[in-house]
Amino acid sequence: MSQSFDEVYQRSIDDPEGFWGEIAQDITWVKPWDTVLDRSNPPHYRWFKGGQLNTCYNCVDRHVDEGRADQAALIYDSPVTDTIKTYSYRELRDEIAAFAGALADHGVTKGDRVIIYLPAIPQAVIAMLACARLGAVHSVVFGGFAANELAVRIDDCEPKVIVSTSCGIEVSKIIAYKPLLDEAIDLAKHTPDHCIILQRPQETCSLIEGRDVEWNDAAAAAEPHDCVPVEATDPLYILYTSGTTGEPKGVMRDNGGHAVALKWTMKNIYGVEPGEVYWAASDVGWVVGHSYIVYAPLLNGNTTIIYEGKPVGTPDAGAFWRVISEHNVEVLFTAPTAFRAIKKEDPNGSLIGDYDLSKFRTLYLAGERLDPDTLQWAEKNLGVPVIDHWWQTETGWSICSNCLGIEALPIKQGSPTKAVPGMNVAVVDDNCDAVKPGDIGALVIKLPLPPGTFPTLWNAEQRFIEAYLEEFPGYYKTADAGFIDEDGYVFVMSRTDDIINVAGHRLSTGAMEEVLSAHPDVAECAVIGVADDLKGQLPLGFLVLSAGVEREHGDIITEVVQMVREQIGPVAAFKTAAVVARLPKTRSGKILRGTMQKIADGEDYKMPATIEDATVLPEIEQALAAL
Ligand code: COA
Ligand code: AMP
């Protein structure tokens, strides 16, 4: 008899070792683990210590060996290049084995880092899994970041090889990747031994003799490489995400717990059986892409789709429905912002009727708050359950969701439902005491975190402790605030740090402030996230100029906008700033960003008791009104 959600959840909390130990049997191990959960060094916990496996084997070779060789593993759908290409599990294995051989020929062995700087093309998946095959550690960098961000990541993880391409295509714009890569390598202190570059026909690039080699040449010259067994606790990848400073945090994922948890989520959270078609419309540069374009669907023997296009403009707001119908997609996962973009262009969803969506079963949304309008629009026009789920780069899979594969719970608008098995979520006050149901506080997860989350930050053990574990002893701090209602439904309200969410992309306003402050005419600045109908939030800058600066404000604003684009990247979407005489501050000198944000969003706000000079606020209102 199948168990209720509450029964499954309770078991995961009461007996995590028993719960995950059983689930781990679903993975093919080279050597079984000694301990399901090593609790010997709290607050550090390690899953499946002593076990050995290979993640690539479990994603690909295993399915070839077990009867899925001819099933589609990966479909590349690229409206921007007018390409659809399907790789069977056998073909995918062969491509990965060849590229793993190429990486090995260029010196990559177990434990070495490889940066992957590629758009949403199959080579990104192949390169990631080729690293996993060798036991090397990949770090994928999203294409919308500038050379400077890439350089920071090069210096932090010190890759032996970088895998990149000549160009990406953003709707109809060609984005030259290679000059950005060359600039990043120039900026970085660390130099990779080699770069393996895919030449795309839309725009080729020049290669540096001795350092660079073309992808196809490297793969053709290589012998296919076998899967290398690694420890369950060995790193699989590093994924950098925004922290509260310009220094990104390198979220580290290990092999064993990741494979166990992610495979389990496909059936239990998403209700997806092996063989079905699952599409995460995201980018491999984000955690959603790592977990749900690449690892989870392949671990589960699904067909996964990598889509090089946008929800609108490639060619129209029917793009998602075309992909769903053409490839018989059963479950789609994307960010609410994608649906807002579609809704804006096709408010009545009339393009949906042009496609056969009869196989389409469920829509999952995450990455930012799901606003009620978008939820209702999707439900009404698609006629399928729309599931909001909450997660973070750090956790690697969802913290809260309606687990359709266990038991569908009633949906409450505004809530990503309940904590999923393994995630012991609580709301606490500043003293780390649990608050009453319905009261807002810090959302935290009781340690130990379940498998598949992050055991540490790459090269930054102390920062890991300070950022996540110190403030609420015994808990992981999510840095989201919210409440849990009497039925156990979690509501995520806002971040407690400087992170903003722009089109589902996580960005640090602190990092943008660092860039603005470097402008010679800027004495002081603040960046806040203001509500935006399409992207959820957009960054907005306030600049106080140095005494004596008499240049045109418009010129200075144009320059800082360009600086953010060049130093963080176009993805930051920093396009607006205002020059003000003063910033509102507390008496102790802290900038009142929260109050500024409320003013910008047109919300009611209380005059902060600690404000140094209340007459500054009308000046901010005026500056905003003039934008
Ligand atoms: N390489 C290079 N540049 C990129 C890029 C990439 N991979 N991805 C985005 N950019 C650039 C864009 O071209 C744009 O540049 P511009 O300022 O010159 O126009 C800028 O970065 C912002 O891009 P984006 O955030 O994608 O905004 P958009 O206005 O082009 O599109 C949406 C808006 C909502 C359609 C788009 O963000 C989207 O499809 N989101 C889907 C959700 C998603 O993928 N979320 C990820 C987590 S699940
Ligand atoms: P990222 O690490 O880029 O996945 O961003 C994680 C952050 O996005 C979370 O800490 C939340 O602030 C926000 N987020 C993700 N999913 C949701 C959701 N379903 N509801 C509200 N906020 C979300």
Q: How far is the CA of 393 from the centre of ligand 2 (A)?
A: 8
Residue 284 to residue 289: CA distance in whole angstroms: 4
Q: How far is the CA of 172 from the centre of ligand 1 (A)?
A: 13
Residue 622 to residue 69: CA distance in whole angstroms: 64
CATH of the domain at 10: 3.40.50.12780
Residue 245 is predicted with a pLDDT of 67
Determine if ligand 2 sits within 6 Å of the CB of residue 54. Answer: no
Residue 606 is predicted with a pLDDT of 84
Secondary structure letter of residue 345 according to DSSP? H
Whether residues 262 and 408 fall in one domain: yes
**Long-range contacts made by residues 94-97, C-beta under 8 angstroms, separation at least 24?**
94/224, 95/122, 95/126, 95/219, 96/56, 96/60, 96/126, 96/129, 96/130, 96/133, 97/130, 97/133, 97/224, 97/225, 97/226
DSSP 204-258: -----TTTEEEHHHHHHHSPP-PPPPEETTSEEEEEEE--SSSS-EEEEEESHHH
To test the pocket of ligand 2, the residue of 506, 535, 571 to mutate (highest count of ligand atoms within 8 Å of its CB) is 506
Whether residues 134 and 266 fall in one domain: yes
pLDDT in tens, 24-52: 999 999 999 999 999 999 999 999 999 99
pLDDT in tens, 577-586: 999 999 999 8
Distances (CA, A) of 612 to 454, 545, 608: 41, 20, 9
Q: How far is the CA of 443 from the centre of ligand 1 (A)?
A: 29
pLDDT tier at 341, thresholds 50, 70, 90: very high
Residue 169 scores a pLDDT above 60: yes
Whether residues 64 and 161 fall in one domain: yes
Mean pLDDT for the stretch of residues 297-311: 98
Secondary structure letter of residue 160 according to DSSP? S
pLDDT in tens, 308-325: 999 999 999 999 999 999
Residue 347 scores a pLDDT above 80: yes
Mean pLDDT for the stretch of residues 242-251: 82
Mean pLDDT for the stretch of residues 328-338: 97
∠ at Cα 499 (497, 500), nearest 5°?
Answer: 135
Residue 1 is predicted with a pLDDT of 55
Whether residues 455 and 533 fall in one domain: no
- In ligand 1, the atom with minimum distance to the C-alpha of 285 is 7
- In ligand 2, the atom with minimum distance to the C-alpha of 506 is 3
φ and ψ at 405, to 5 degrees? -75, -10
CATH of the domain at 527: 3.30.300.30
Q: How far is the CA of 245 from the centre of ligand 2 (A)?
A: 18
Residue 491: helix, strand or coil by DSSP? strand
Mean pLDDT for the stretch of residues 245-254: 88
Whether residues 20 and 79 fall in one domain: yes
Residue 460: helix, strand or coil by DSSP? coil
Determine the angle formed by the axes of helices 16-23 and 256-268, rounding to 10 degrees: 80
pLDDT in tens, 487-513: 999 999 999 998 999 998 999 999 999
The rounded percent of the chain whose pLDDT value lies above 90 is 95
Residue 12 scores a pLDDT above 90: yes
Residue 605 scores a pLDDT above 90: no
Whether residues 254 and 296 fall in one domain: yes
Is-contact 83 76, C-beta < 8 A? Answer: yes
The rounded percent of the chain whose pLDDT value lies above 70 is 99
Report the pocket of ligand 1 as residue ranges, CB < 6 Å.
119, 143-144, 168, 170, 175, 282-283, 286, 288, 310-312, 334-335, 337-338, 341, 367, 503-505, 570-571, 573
Give the residue, by CA position, lying nearest to ligand 2 atom 15: 367
Whether residues 524 and 476 fall in one domain: no
Element (H, E) at 27: none
The encoded tokens of residue 419 equal 């904590």
Residue 369 to residue 297: CA distance in whole angstroms: 24
Whether residues 256 and 199 fall in one domain: yes
User: Is residue 142 in a domain?
Assistant: yes
Q: How many helices (H) and strands (E) does the chain have?
A: 20, 32
Q: How far is the CA of 194 from the centre of ligand 1 (A)?
A: 29
Nearest ligand by distance to the CA of 570:
1
Q: Which domain holds residue 396?
A: 5-309+389-482
Torsion on CA atoms 121, 126, 132, 135, rounded to nearest 10: -120
Is-contact 391 361, C-beta < 8 A? Answer: no
Whether residues 74 and 201 fall in one domain: yes
Q: How far is the CA of 479 from the centre of ligand 1 (A)?
A: 25
Q: What is the pTM of this model?
A: 0.95
Residue 247 is predicted with a pLDDT of 80
- In ligand 2, the atom with minimum distance to the C-alpha of 393 is 2
Residue 264 is predicted with a pLDDT of 98
Whether residues 552 and 605 fall in one domain: yes
Number of folded domains that form the chain: 2
Whether residues 409 and 554 fall in one domain: no
Whether residues 454 and 571 fall in one domain: no
Query: Computed from CA positions of residues 286, 287, 290, 291, in that sequence, does the dihedral angle turn out positive or negative?
Result: negative
User: Is residue 329 in a domain?
Assistant: no
Residue 115 scores a pLDDT above 90: yes
Q: How many residues does the chain have?
A: 627
Q: How far is the CA of 310 from the centre of ligand 1 (A)?
A: 8
Mean pLDDT for the stretch of residues 419-424: 98
For residue 1, count other CB atoms closer than 10 A to its CB.
3
Determine if ligand 2 sits within 6 Å of the CB of residue 495. Answer: yes
Q: Using DSSP bridges, classify how beta strands 490-495 and 137-140 pair: parallel, antiparallel or unpaired.
A: unpaired
Residue type, 277: V
φ and ψ at 68, to 5 degrees? -105, 15
Distances (CA, A) of 207 to 98, 182, 197, 199: 21, 10, 8, 10
Residue 92: helix, strand or coil by DSSP? helix
Mean pLDDT for the stretch of residues 514-542: 96
Q: Burial code of 175-200, b = ≥16 C-beta within 10 A, e = fewer?
A: bebbebbbbbbeebeeebebbbbbbb
